[in-house]
Chain A
């Protein structure tokens, strides 16, 4: 089956993560169509599910990974501070080290 993904909605990192998780059950071919869209071709390597279910799962994963990406991007600095405070010796970090 073939899906068209809007690259302005889902970036490459998010699409790649979904492809990674689907790769256990599908051979996946990615083709960039233009600046804004990408074609994803999924070929089942195990038991085949209905196309609508696969499509639903794919877009569900896209949305979930997009949310995870937002959380990861917004928390990168605080995560660094947290780990430095927990494990680095003499590491003085403050809110000035958090960047917008």
Chain B
């Protein structure tokens, strides 16, 4: 090797707010003047503070092998720690029956009286066997639908089976009920209280908007009552809510945030529509994506303002990205992982016995597309997660190896999503140049970085409080 003053270490870069943003393999970020990368490559970088920072943060090395290579490797391992524990989130789709009529339903729900679309006890038992086959020490059993609170007996049966099985397995086990909270009966809440079930509900914003989205006149009133009832039963911190930004919702960024604050929540996830189920009827995803990005920024500015005024309130998507950016740790959020969250972090047991690699993939199955069906609950765990279909998905689940992602500086904060690629672009590999998910994620991550660059003193205390 020729004599060089220093050696390069792997990093990527992008340009934001007139600066060059350098991101290394660990997700560490250095903001530098334009032209820095050229100087680094040309070896014309002066030995100033920036140089020292580049050495200290694994962007360049004064020795061919960095003296702290073991620390470097350990930090990389920490960033991918989610892989070690394998599948932790196990989603049980108990029924497609639902008592709402949401305009954007992504779960292909059926009406409340429908028959033949609920999980049998036999399928529940087999699904639990599979869940306990996962080597993960900590597992989450999440009940979804349709509306899972319509089948409380099945939920209790599942929890009791899991508790029994766990006497031997000794795993850390959490239960989550994803419910619209429309009809949280005493029976359902007793189960939640008895087994420490966390309630995750959905609220789209102020009354007029929520009711319009749900296709019901009294949905808001019932959900708010359900939230209060749930809080009383299991504790305030055990009830969270999730919003989905319908096309109409795009017009009300501050009103939606204010509604969450008014109801006593300390966090919200500004979530875009997913192109599954009824949501596919949205006729202009290009326009929706651009409008959502604008919506996100307006809502986020309002959240920053609330925090500045002393109200602690977190935007969850930003918090996940910021955790990746500002801490040495990985996050458990399956949509922003590489390798992707599918299979690695989540498995779905559908009401009909099908096993899928993500929540979205079972939604595709409701439209007779079984591309992401790994097998059935009658299969062996190993055959499901190491089977032919799983291997096909694994070929395209790391953004480090995907065109358009592999040399993107933001890949450390983003994730691979073969199911979304398939559903929106027709193949699992996807094309980042035309991907709306890429456009959205990139715009939001770049926006967060621009805030750090342009308004550091103002936003960093808030961001640090969110990730600590």
Q: Do A and B bind each other?
A: yes
Residues of chain A touching chain B, judged by Cβ–Cβ distance below 8 Å, are: 17, 20-24, 64-65, 67-68, 70-72, 74-75, 78-79, 81-83, 85-87, 94-95, 98-100
| 1/0 contact string of B66-86 vs chain A (CB within 8 Å) | 100110111011001000000
Q: Are A95 and B73 in contact (CB under 8 A)?
A: no
Shortest Cβ gap from A28 to chain B (Å):
11
Shortest Cβ gap from B185 to chain A (Å):
48
Interfacial residues of chain B within 1-55, with CB under 8 A of chain A in the complex: 1-2, 7-13, 15, 25, 37-38, 41
Tell me whether A24 and B433 are in contact in the complex, defined as CB-CB below 8 angstroms, given that A71-B10, A78-B10, A98-B64 are known contacts.
yes
- Not counting A85-B73, A100-B1, a sample of 12 additional A-B residue pairs whose C-beta atoms are within 8 angstroms of each other reads A21-B432, A21-B433, A22-B433, A23-B434, A67-B38, A68-B12, A78-B61, A81-B65, A82-B10, A85-B72, A86-B76, A86-B80
Q: Is the CB of B163 closer than 8 A to any CB of chain A?
A: no
Instruction: Write the chain A residue with the least CB distance to B404.
Output: A20
Shortest Cβ gap from A61 to chain B (Å):
11
- 14 A-B residue pairs with Cβ-Cβ distance under 8 Å, sorted by A, are A20-B404, A20-B432, A21-B404, A21-B432, A22-B433, A23-B431, A23-B433, A24-B433, A64-B15, A67-B37, A67-B41, A74-B8, A86-B80, A100-B2
Chain B residues with Cβ below 8 Å from A83 are: 76
| Assembled-state Cα–Cα distance A72/B25 (Å) | 12
Tell me whether A24 and B65 are in contact in the complex, defined as CB-CB below 8 angstroms, given that A67-B38, A98-B1 are known contacts.
no
Q: Are A86 and B10 in contact (CB under 8 A)?
A: no
| Assembled-state Cα–Cα distance A95/B7 (Å) | 12
Q: Are A82 and B2 in contact (CB under 8 A)?
A: no
Chain B residues with Cβ below 8 Å from A68 are: 12-13, 407
Q: Are B11 and A71 in contact (CB under 8 A)?
A: yes
Chain A residues with Cβ below 8 Å from B10 are: 71-72, 75, 78-79, 82
